[in-house]
Amino acid sequence: TINLKINGIAVTAPKGSTILEAARLAHIEIPTLCFLKEINEIGACRICIVELKNGKLVTSCVYPAEEGMEVYTNTPKVLDSRKKTLQLLLSNHNRSCLSCVRSGHCELQELAHELGVDDEGYYDGEITPSEIDTSAAHMIRDNSKCILCRRCVAVCENVQGIGVIGANNRGFSTSIGSAFEMGLGETSCVSCGQCIAVCPTGALTEKDYTADVFAAIADPKKHVIVQTAPAVRAGLGEEFGLPIGTDVEGKMAAALRRLGFDKVFDTNFSADLTIMEEAHEFIDRVQNGGVLPLITSCSPGWVKYCEHYFPDMTENLSSCKSPQQMFGAIAKSYYAEKAGIDPKDIVSVSVMPCTAKKFEIGREDEDANGMPDVDISITTRELARMIKKAGIRFLDLPDEEFDAPLGLGTGAAVIFGATGGVMEAALRTAVETLTGEELPKPDFTEVRGTKGIKEATYNVAGMEVKIAVASGLGNARELLNKVKSGEANYHFIEIMGCPGGCVNGGGQPQQPGYVRNTTDIRGLRAKVLYDIDTANPIRKSHENPAIKELYATYLGEPGSEKAHHLLHTTYVK
Ligand code: HC1
């Protein structure tokens, strides 16, 4: 350990700590802006400046704590330096805060307020010219609000291993963008939205479709249905001030009903359906010499990544559509028939923790009924905006249920939202199908947890089944390279594009850097899903009564011609 003094108070910190970490042990949170632990440790923004005994100002996020050191975090010199840094940032910043989507939870705004920046125009002068990039299907880049913290660049490069954005030009002309200033939509960006999740300001935002949803609901000729992804219920509460890891499933259903949706359904229903089809596909590939490993295909960021970066492995992808798309295809066929509604009058809306879902709804071969399976996909954040705009007092709402039949899901379905959940759900069904026996316990705990890559081997009906799970595209690449080189060998792999899975998706509520650096956000959100699973009396997809009825009365068997037509898709190389 190291002993030092922070503001005159003795602190003992583990060896290797930075001043920022040591200060935390003394219950002092030094403000940060660019710093993201293990992702962006570049000491660039200089907000975290502190003063050493000799009067030197240093950046505490990267400066090591040393034995005997005396550090001051709040001297006039420190406070003045931080304020000047903010004033300089604000002098080149689009300050239309009133209408900015991040207003109220913008890290720059919060710091300016906390540090008393009352003269934000002090250094006003020339502004770096910029254009708004709307070329991508899922997001908007507005560099007039960018503060060059490079968090987006770091997460794209260091976590996802993609690197489609970086700093262009030098000095005052520096801007974040793609090579040759291409639009993001023209690059091999996979729409994961992790850059949006870490952006401290309103520079990066999802494309907002809430106005289209309000318009559809207001149209009396339209039957507007909504599905909510597993992970949304584990994140939405944060937008209303609830602690990270609060289950708001019941309030969310109540809010959607009050927004005016004609039916409030659940993606969990079609996650169960995905398992039926995917477990069948897995068993079929194993028994009939199909391409292995089978790799899950429900994460559209991952699917796009596979197409761009591992095109020779697209045959390994499951042909199953994602639960979002399966839901849409069933809503405009089975449900429409059952309810006596012309599918052309249905507007199918999805609420997703994901930005790549906005891209997925427009993919080829995602239109089983001659029209898009899903019409509008909004993020968890957009849903929160709608609820606030409509004046619905979310926290006061009662808990309500989803509507039947497309609102019924099992415990297996809800864990899709956490890394390892799809694999666990598939194993619950595949193992019981192969052995013909009931599992004594449906838990496959080896694939749980937020580790980037997980592996396990199970003995199923006399066969050693080797599986692996990866989340985050950097981890996916590492795993796939091992498979390609022959170093590792599996039968079944789950890959999710975002680290930790959908609970940490690019469409989830944004948490500020200091929370991201100190809290296991994805672990807390995942726990919500595992708790819902445990509390559900039905924990296996093949036991979902609504799914059983769908097969018995409409689809026939998993893998049937009708199921193939509606529920499976194709990929591009
Ligand atoms: Fe996901 Fe999925 S789990 S991809 O992470 O397979 O987005 O939550 O909805 O489609 O079910 C996202 C989450 C989601 C799909 C399911």
pLDDT tens, 161-181? 999 999 999 888 899 999 888
Q: How far is the CA of 228 from the centre of ligand 1 (A)?
A: 9
Largest alpha-carbon pair distance within the chain?
A: 79
- Our mutation pick for probing the ligand 1 site, out of 192, 252, 267, counting the most ligand atoms within 8 A of Cβ, is 267
Which ligand 1 atom lies nearest to the CA of residue 322? 10
- Note the pLDDT of residue 22: 98
The residue whose CA has the least distance to atom 15 of ligand 1 is: 323
pLDDT class of 120 with cuts at 50, 70, 90: confident
Query: Six-digit token pair at 414?
Result: 């809800």
pLDDT at 155 over 90: yes
Radius of gyration from C-alpha coordinates of the chain: 25
Quick: pLDDT tens for 206-247. 999 999 999 999 999 999 999 999 999 999 999 999 999 999
Tell me how far the alpha carbon of residue 527 lies from the centroid of ligand 1, in angstroms. 16
Mutate to test the pocket of ligand 1, among 276, 296, 298 (most ligand atoms within 8 A of CB): 298
State the pLDDT at residue 43.
92
For a mutational test of ligand 1's pocket, the pick from 228, 416, 469, 508, i.e. the residue with the most ligand atoms closer than 8 A to its C-beta, is 416
What percent of the chain is helix, strand and coil (3-state, nearest 5)? 40, 15, 40
Ligand 1: residue whose CA is nearest its atom 9: 229
Measured in Å, residue 270 CA sits from the centre of ligand 1 at 10
**What's the pLDDT score for residue 278?**
98
**Model pTM above 0.95:** yes
The yes-or-no verdict on residue 28 having pLDDT over 90 is yes
pLDDT at 573: 78
Token pair in block for residue 568: 């499976």
Kindly give the number of the ligand 1 atom that is closest to the alpha carbon of 230: 8
The pLDDT value given to residue 184: 97
CA-to-CA dists, residue 319 to 41, 163, 192, 288, 314, angstroms:
40, 28, 21, 16, 9
ipTM: 0.94
How far apart are the CA of 114 and the centre of ligand 1, in A?
Answer: 37
DSSP code of residue 115:
T
- From residue 489, alpha-carbon distances to 73, 221, 447, 473, 541 in Å are 52, 53, 17, 19, 27
The pLDDT of residue 178 is 92
Residues in CB range of 90: below 8 A, 6 or more apart: 108, 112, 117, 120, 121, 123
| For range 400-422, the mean pLDDT | 98
Cα distance between residue 379 and residue 381, in whole Å: 5
Q: What is the mean pLDDT of residues 527-554?
A: 98
Asked whether the predicted pLDDT for residue 475 surpasses 90, the reply is: yes
Q: Which residue's CA lies nearest to atom 6 of ligand 1?
A: 298
What is the pLDDT, as a whole number, of residue 48? 98
- Ligand 1: atom nearest CA of 325 is 10
Give CA angle at 245 (240, 249), nearest 5°.
Answer: 70
Cα(415) to ligand 1 centroid in Å equals: 9
User: What are 263's two structure tokens?
Assistant: 């039916």
Once rounded to an integer, what is the mean pLDDT over residues 299-321?
A: 98
* Cα 245 to Cα 524: distance, rounded to the nearest angstrom: 5
Write the residue with the smallest CA distance to atom 12 of ligand 1.
Answer: 502
CB-based pocket (< 6 A), ligand 1? 229-231, 267, 271, 298-299, 322-324, 352-354, 357, 416-417, 501-502, 505
Quote the CA–CA distance of 152 and 300 in Å, as a whole number: 20
Confidence band (pLDDT; 50, 70, 90) for 123?
Answer: confident
Q: What is the pLDDT of residues 326-372, one digit of tens each?
A: 999 999 999 999 999 999 999 999 999 999 999 999 999 999 999 99
CA of 474 to the centre of ligand 1 (A): 20
Question: How close is the Cα of 201 to the center of ligand 1, in Å?
Answer: 26
pLDDT of residue 461: 86
Alpha carbon of 502 to ligand 1 centroid (Å):
6
The pLDDT of 101-124, averaged and rounded, is 94
pLDDT at 306: 98
- Ligand 1 pocket: which of 305, 502, 530 to mutate (most atoms within 8 A of CB): 502
- 3-class SS at 147? coil
Q: Which two tokens stand for residue 96?
A: 């239309």
Find the angle CA(452)-CA(455)-CA(456) to the nearest 5 degrees: 150
Predicted confidence (pLDDT) per residue in 40-88, tens digit: 999 999 999 999 999 999 999 999 999 999 999 999 999 999 999 999 9
Distance 324 CA to ligand 1 centre (A): 7
Give the position, in ligand 1's atom list, of the atom nearest the Cα of 299: 4
Average pLDDT of every residue of the chain: 97
- Which atom of ligand 1 is nearest the CA belonging to 352? 7
Collapsing DSSP to helix, strand or coil, 32 comes out as: coil
Q: Are strands 376-379 and 346-352 parallel, antiparallel or unpaired?
A: parallel
Taking the CA of residue 271 as reference, the ligand 1 atom at the shortest distance is 11
CA distances from 21 to 32, 212, 429 (A): 12, 45, 46
What's the pLDDT band for 25 if we cut at 50, 70, 90?
very high
Q: In 477-556, where do the E strands start and end?
A: 492-496
Cα of 351 to ligand 1 centre, how many Å? 10
**Nearest 5°: CA angle at 300, between 203 and 210?**
50
